[in-house]
Structure 1
Amino acid sequence: MSLTSVEGNAGGDGRGRRMADLDAAQVAAWLQQNPEFFETHRDLLSQIRLRHPHGGRAISLIERQVTVLRDSNRMLEKRVADFLRIGRDNDALSMKMQGLAHALLGEREPSRLPGLLCAGLRRGFDVPFVLVRLWADVNLPETSQGPVSSRLRQWADRLDQPFCGPAEQQDEIVAWFPDRGQEVASLAVMALRAGNETQSFGLLVIGSHDPNRFQSGMGTVVLEQLADMAGASLSRALPARQVA
């Protein structure tokens, strides 16, 4: 198809019939197949007037193309900036995880590990509520003492990835926060295991005032790494018969 052939078939009705014979897709296809068109009709580039995308005034086709390219560049610059920010955030998170791991590995007294873990998470990861609950009958700092239902222990054994969601779904766990449980809006709950054991020996719980801080469907890779690190470290604080 060519523009001239369509115009020749239009007959005497003139411009109205010629425009009716062409649609936008045909015009676009013809221009793609004839890229030399604007080379031989350079004056059209400055004569065609288009509406400015960010205002009502008319601009030339060249100006419009420059505007499109500028907008595209701004979008690319924003994406690059987002990637750089995410990279910096990931680097900072990696350094915090490494620092916490070093602190746990360097602690020679197992009874101090729960407190060290909780303090490190509060300080380095900006979480207001952190506690460790072990099934062991030992008095460890920062470990909530008291009964744990068999239902919750069974639930922890089945927990193959961290639970993230509203605190109201975990009434028993929220009750472990003394005098402040009503302030916890969302939770991340991780089962603690020794090595490759399938049975859990406790829970690591992180809470937030923000109901959207921990929610179902969020990424849990970092939390899973934290649970593995905490489980490996805290298993040293358990009686030997429980980690055999």
Structure 2
Amino acid sequence: MTRPGRTGRPCADAGCPRLARPRSDGPCGADVFAGFTMSFTSLPGGSPRETDERRRVDALSADEVAAWLQRNPEFFESHRDMLSQLRLRHPHGGRAISLIERQVTVLRDANRMLEKRLADFLRIGRENDALSMKMQGLAHALLGERDPARLPGLLCAGLRRGFDVPFVVVRLWAEVNLPEASQGPVSASLQQWADRLEQPYCGPATQDEILGWFPERGQEVASMAAMALRAGNEIRSFGLLVIGSHDPNRFQAGMGTVVLEQLADMAGASLSRALPPKESA
């Protein structure tokens, strides 16, 4: 028997599978190599299982990859060399950097933000401490004054000097034994508006009647805070304390009013000493 593929002649062996098939134009060896070639060219496709796995990997979305990494945070512990191979865009420039460099940059930026917030907290704390000291000093001055007639002037001077507000006025409409400068006609509508104030008004200086309390300077007031003066827990007010500023943003709607509320309570308690005593029932 001649070995297939060596001579190109058909096999003479009766047991050769070549004789069991219909005769073809090519030699037996050609068919064998043709079959081998067909099998070889099919290798890159892999098995159906490998093909399905490859398709599943190709179909993974970025969100799925991110979710998988979140579920497997130890992945880079066993693949540490990948950390130096990953490249990311620099947040402050166009050049590419490694993942580790990017993490350092992100942490550095976060640290700067935390330092800024800490500096802001410290600044606000110092400002609050200074404000508290000023409030305490003003309270001592008002409570230590024995002559009620001097209270309005003492209050206004203390606010101008210690709280950097150029416009301060106290206007009372109750019957009090105080200087006429702090008293004057006040419309019923403005008195009712003051009675409805549950907290200080902060915003634009648009009330013409109030602006008229600042002779020749009312047009300079851009924003103001108006506080109703009450005696104790009384609902009705007996006057208004108004402070104004050239800055339209100094007093704005929605700003914190805790300090202003404390100031209103302190001023109301001090000035109420000039109110006539209530008649007992």
Pairwise same-fold verdict (TM > 0.5): yes
Q: Secondary structure at the match of 1:240?
A: coil
The equivalent residue for 2:270 is: 233
Q: Secondary structure at the match of 1:205?
A: strand
Structure-1-length-normalised TM-score: 0.87
For residue 148 of structure 1, the aligned residue among 171, 182, 186 is 186
Q: After the TM superposition, which residues 1-244 of structure 1 pair with which residues of structure 2 at under 5 Å, given as runs?
A: 9=52, 11=54, 20-136=58-174, 140-141=178-179, 143-168=181-206, 170-240=207-277
Please report how far the alpha carbon of residue 19 of structure 1 lies from its aligned counterpart in structure 2 after TM superposition: 6.4
User: Which region of structure 1 is more displaced relative to structure 2, 114-123 or 31-40?
Assistant: 31-40
Please give the alpha-carbon distance, in whole angstroms, between the structure 1 residues aligned to 2:219 and 2:50: 77
Q: Tell me if the contact between 1:100 and 1:117 (Cα under 8 Å) persists in the aligned partners.
A: yes
Aligned in 2, Cα 1:37/1:155: closer, same or farther, shift over 3 Å? closer
Structure-2-length-normalised TM-score: 0.76
Deviations 1:17-36 (CA, angstroms, capped at 9, x unpaired): 67641111111122223333
User: Which region of structure 1 is more displaced relative to structure 2, 32-41 or 155-164?
Assistant: 32-41
Greater RCO, 1 or 2 (C-alpha within 8 Å, sep 6+): 1
The equivalent residue for 2:38 is: none
Aligned in 2, Cα 1:106/1:186: closer, same or farther, shift over 3 Å? same
User: Which region of structure 1 is more displaced relative to structure 2, 228-237 or 24-33?
Assistant: 24-33
Instruction: Answer with 1 or 2: which has the greater Rg.
Output: 2
Please report how far the alpha carbon of residue 84 of structure 1 lies from its aligned counterpart in structure 2 after TM superposition: 1.4
Please report how far the alpha carbon of residue 10 of structure 1 lies from its aligned counterpart in structure 2 after TM superposition: 5.1
Please give the alpha-carbon distance, in whole angstroms, between the structure 2 residues aligned to 1:37 and 1:56: 29
Please report how far the alpha carbon of residue 7 of structure 1 lies from its aligned counterpart in structure 2 after TM superposition: 7.6
The equivalent residue for 1:14 is: none
Aligned in 2, Cα 1:33/1:198: closer, same or farther, shift over 3 Å? closer
Aligned in 2, Cα 1:40/1:109: closer, same or farther, shift over 3 Å? same
Q: Which runs of 5+ in 1 are unaligned?
A: 1-5, 12-16
Give aligned-pair identity as a percent. Answer: 83
Deviations 1:25-49 (CA, angstroms, capped at 9, x unpaired): 1111222233332222222111221
Q: Secondary structure at the match of 1:148?
A: coil
Please give the alpha-carbon distance, in whole angstroms, between the structure 2 residues aligned to 1:241 and 1:179: 38
Please give the alpha-carbon distance, in whole angstroms, between the structure 2 residues aligned to 1:33 and 1:132: 66
